[in-house]
Structure 1
Amino acid sequence: MTAGETLRGLLELTRPVNVIAASVLTGIGAFVAGGVTSHPVEVVAAVVATGLAVGAGNAINDYFDREIDRINQPQRAIPRGAVSPRGALLFSAALFAGAIGFALVLPRLALAIAGINLLALVAYTELFKGLPGLGNALVAYLVGSTFLFGAAAVGEIGPAAVLFLLAGVATLTREIIKDVEDLEGDREEGLRTLPIAIGERPALWVATALLVAAVLASPLPYVLEEFGAIYLAAVLPANAIMLYAAYESFSDPTAGQSRLKYGMFLAAVAFVLGRAVEVVGAA
């Protein structure tokens, strides 16, 4: 393997799209908390730490999954020989070290969230991935916590706590629906996902009930007068899309989980609009 192929393999290990997406979510969390202009150093440190941590988590996931990937994903960096297992492990450790370095400049709450997330990323594949529901819940927490981490980095949780809840539960719902979608393949591979453990429809009802609870909590920033009517006008359609996606998943899991993703995006936009209007109004 040439140096260029190895570098390409290392980049693939990080899942660059996931790294960028998670970093953007952290930035949104900081913006929603109202601290982008007042705490620029902390925001940059949190965004970079998130990207490095996500890249590290993806790399170590591929390290632990290398034998399964030789069968299911032979084109990935380790199975095809672009990166050695030891090289992937060292690369992951270096990224984790970088994430810790950037996180050290952040407030204690953000540092605590970073520490929990780093442990969760390492433990996911070995301890939680095969456990019904728990693996889904951990992924959901990690996605939602990017908003919380960004807010904690600027020392103000505020409405980002509701965004954390909504994003986390919506992600959990989507993960369960995806498991329903992959039911036959997962059963053949001997996995113990939630739909396999308790049944397809009961799993979908669990996912729907959790989503309904999160949707009911979504108006809180408006009720508490943290955001105005613009936020409410944007988050209600997002809620409607996500609830319809959960309903649709009972007949078409593929369409349901895809539609849920759009609802999640619109919900994040609602929080950004809510904060933007507050910033403009205060100017």
Structure 2
Amino acid sequence: MTAAETARGLLELTRPVNVIAASVLTGIGAFVAGGVENAPFSVGAAVLATGLAVGAGNAINDYFDREIDRINQPERAIPRGAVSPNGALGFSVVLFVAAVGLSLTLPTLAIAIAGINLLALIAYTEVFKGLPGIGNALVAYLVGSTFLFGSAAVGEIQTAGVLFLLAAIATLTREIIKDVEDVDGDRAEGLNTLPIAIGERRALLVALGLLVVGVLASPLPYLLEYFGLAYLVVVIPADLVMLYAGLRSFDDPTSGQSLLKYGTFLAALAFIVGRVDELLGIL
């Protein structure tokens, strides 16, 4: 492998789209909490730390998942030989160290969240991933906690707490659907994911039930008077997209979980719109 191919492989290990998405979610958490204009350095440090930590977590996940990926994802960097297993492990350590260094510049609550998340990222694949539902719940917490981390970086988590709850539910649903999609490779590796433990259809019913709970909870920011009508105008279409995604997953899990991702980001956009409306009084 050439140096360029190795560099490309290292970049792929981080899942750049996921890194950018998680960093944006942290920024949204800070914005919803109203701290972007008051603590720009803390927001920047939190956003960068999130990106580094997610990249590190993805890299170490690929290190531990390298045998499963030979079945499910043979085009990934380690199975195709672009990056060695030890190279991926060392790369993840460097990213983790950088993320910790940035996190230590933040308030105590943000440091605590970062510490918990870093431990969870490291333990996920080896300890929790193969446990029915528990690994999914951990991933859901990690995604939702990006909002908490961003808001904690600026010292206020109340509003972002609701966003954390909604994002965690949507992510848990998507993770279950992804496990249905990957059931063949997971079964070959001896993992006991939720679809393997209770059956694929039952797992999808659990996912859909969780999604309905999240949709029913989505008006909370409006009902609690965190945001006005503008929030509802955006969150209702997001709810419809996510419900359709949940139903779609029974016929096509790949399409369903992809649609659910878009619905989740649309729901996050609702919080941005709600915050902007709160500042400008548009609706």
Change (3 A) 1:82 1:53: same
Amino acid at match of 2:218: S
2:127 corresponding residue in structure 1: 127
CA offset digits 1:187-243 (Å, max 9, x no partner): 344332211111223222222222222222221211121111110121122122222
Tell me the distance in 2 between the aligned counterparts of 1:198 and 1:79.
30
Aligned partner letter, 2:187: R
In the alignment, structure 1 residue 245 sits paired with structure 2 residue 245: yes
**Aligned counterparts of 1:255 and 1:12: Cα–Cα separation in 2:** 22
Q: C-alpha distance in 1, partners of 2:43/2:164?
A: 17
Q: Conserved in 1, the CA contact under 8 Å of 2:68 and 2:186?
A: no
Following the alignment from structure 2 to structure 1, what is the Cα–Cα distance between the partners of residues 72 and 195? 21
Moved over 6 A (4+): none
Displacement of 1:136: 1.2
Who is 1:57 aligned against? 57
Instruction: Say if 2:191 is the partner of 1:191.
Output: yes
- Answering whether residue 179 of structure 2 is matched by residue 175 of structure 1, we say no
1:211–1:83 CA distance, 2 compared to 1 (3 A) = same
Q: How many residues align structurally?
A: 282
- Looking at structure 2, the residues matched to 255 and 22 of structure 1 have their Cα atoms a distance apart, in angstroms, of 21
CA RMSD in angstroms, aligned pairs only:
2.1
How much has 1:151 moved relative to structure 2? 1.1
Match of 1:281 in 2: 281
Q: Counterpart in 1 of 2:218?
A: 218
5+ residue gaps, structure 2, are none
Q: Which residue of 2 aligns with 1:44?
A: 44
TM-score under structure 2 normalisation? 0.91
Q: CA deviation at 1:273?
A: 0.1
Question: In structure 2, what is the Cα distance between the partners aligned to 1:168 and 1:71?
Answer: 28
- Match of residue 151 from structure 1: 151
Q: Alignment identity in percent?
A: 77
Deviations 1:27-71 (A, max 9, x none): 111111111111101100000000110111111112222344455
Supply the distance in 2 between the matched residues of 1:181 and 1:89 (Cα, whole angstroms).
Answer: 27
SS at match of 1:226: coil
Partner residue, 2:114: 114
What letter is aligned with 1:270? A
Provide closer, same or farther for how the CA distance between residues 251 and 71 of structure 1 changes in structure 2, counting only shifts above 3 A. closer
Residues 18 and 113 (structure 1), Cα distance of their counterparts in 2 relative to 1, 3 Å cut: same
The SS at the match of 2:155 is: coil
Q: Which moved more, 1:250-259 or 1:208-217?
A: 250-259
